[in-house]
Structure 1
Amino acid sequence: MQSWVLWLIIAGILGTAELMTATFDLLLLAIAALAAATIAGLGLGIGLQLLAFAVTAAAMITLVRPVARRHLMGHPQLRTGVAALIGREAVVLTPCGREPGRVKIGGEEWSARSYDPDLLIPAGTRVDVFAIEGATALVHPQEDPWPN
């Protein structure tokens, strides 16, 4: 049997094993086996085939693997929509307490209630958005209000 056929069989076994494990590592070794099969197909000796396999495997593992892992593991969860408003700063436009008032969050007006229903937040107070319930922001002052 030709040595290039053996390398193709090794590449096939590694590729199949990759499909079962989904680690991405075995795929890189399968590509290295294909490089060795190419060298064998050119009629070069076993020493050069093993060298091609080793060099390609090392290059794939040190250069390709970190980049691929970074892309496969995903990016930080991006908050969009109303979830992106949580934690933002707002300014109270009309007093907020148990009854809804209005706040300005990033240039948009929202209805808002105080996160603490017993607290009345006066207009002009800077607040943090703690949660969103429907179309109403639940807010709390950034600093405790001065007692009257």
Structure 2
Amino acid sequence: MEQSTVWWLAAGALVVAELTTGTFYLLMVAVGLVAGAIAAHLGLSAPLQIVAAAVVGAGLVVGLHQMKRQRPGDPSPRADRSVNLDVGETVLIEAWNADGTSSVKYRGTTWTAIHRPGITPSVGMHRVAELVGNRLLVDPV
């Protein structure tokens, strides 16, 4: 059996494994194995084929990992407008209590509003950033 055939079979097996597990990393390793198959087609020696597969596969895995680390995470469901329709609505804060809460009229009832830590409370219009339990976490508009 040709060396390139072994590389192609191994790459195909990893693609099947990736499809069953759903990890994108196996696909990157499979691309590395394809690089090994291409190296075999070019007539490179077995050690150079292994090096080509390892460099390409490992490089893609490390690159994918770095991309995932740098991408911001998904917003919390408490702050996601598609989950909670209150997010993004505005409320009028007339006064803040000493404990950092405020009572606001919203949707026909009285709610407790809180502000983010480190932000100086101010009166006026605020936008609902997320729901924390049954409290509205608000940001100044």
The whole-number CA distance in structure 2 between the counterparts of 1:13 and 1:70 is 30
TM-score in terms of structure 1 length: 0.56
The whole-number CA distance in structure 1 between the counterparts of 2:59 and 2:52 is 10
**Match in the other structure for 2:21:** 21
**Match in the other structure for 1:99:** none
Specify whether residues 115 and 50 from structure 1 end up closer, same or farther in structure 2 by C-alpha distance, changes over 3 A only: closer
**Match in the other structure for 1:134:** none
Q: Which amino acid is the alignment partner of residue 27 of structure 1?
A: L
Shift of 1:89: 4.4
Percent of paired sites with the same residue: 28
Q: Which amino acid is the alignment partner of residue 80 of structure 2?
A: R
Aligned length: 108
Specify whether residues 58 and 111 from structure 1 end up closer, same or farther in structure 2 by C-alpha distance, changes over 3 A only: closer
Over 6 Å off, 4+ runs: 127-131
Residue 84, structure 1, aligned to residue 87, structure 2: yes
Matches within 5 A, 1:65-84: 65-68=65-68, 75-77=74-76, 79-80=80-81, 82-84=85-87
Shift of 1:79: 2.7
The whole-number CA distance in structure 2 between the counterparts of 1:8 and 1:68 is 28
The whole-number CA distance in structure 1 between the counterparts of 2:63 and 2:40 is 24
Q: Give secondary structure in 1 for the equivalent of 2:85.
A: helix
Q: Which amino acid is the alignment partner of residue 83 of structure 1?
A: D
Q: Which amino acid is the alignment partner of residue 75 of structure 2?
A: P
The whole-number CA distance in structure 2 between the counterparts of 1:18 and 1:53 is 17
Gaps of 5+ in 2: 95-104, 113-122, 137-141
Specify whether residues 79 and 6 from structure 1 end up closer, same or farther in structure 2 by C-alpha distance, changes over 3 A only: same
Specify whether residues 2 and 23 from structure 1 end up closer, same or farther in structure 2 by C-alpha distance, changes over 3 A only: same
2:36·2:49 contact (CA, 8 Å) conserved in 1?
Answer: yes
Gaps of 5+ in 1: 93-102, 104-109, 117-124, 132-137, 140-148
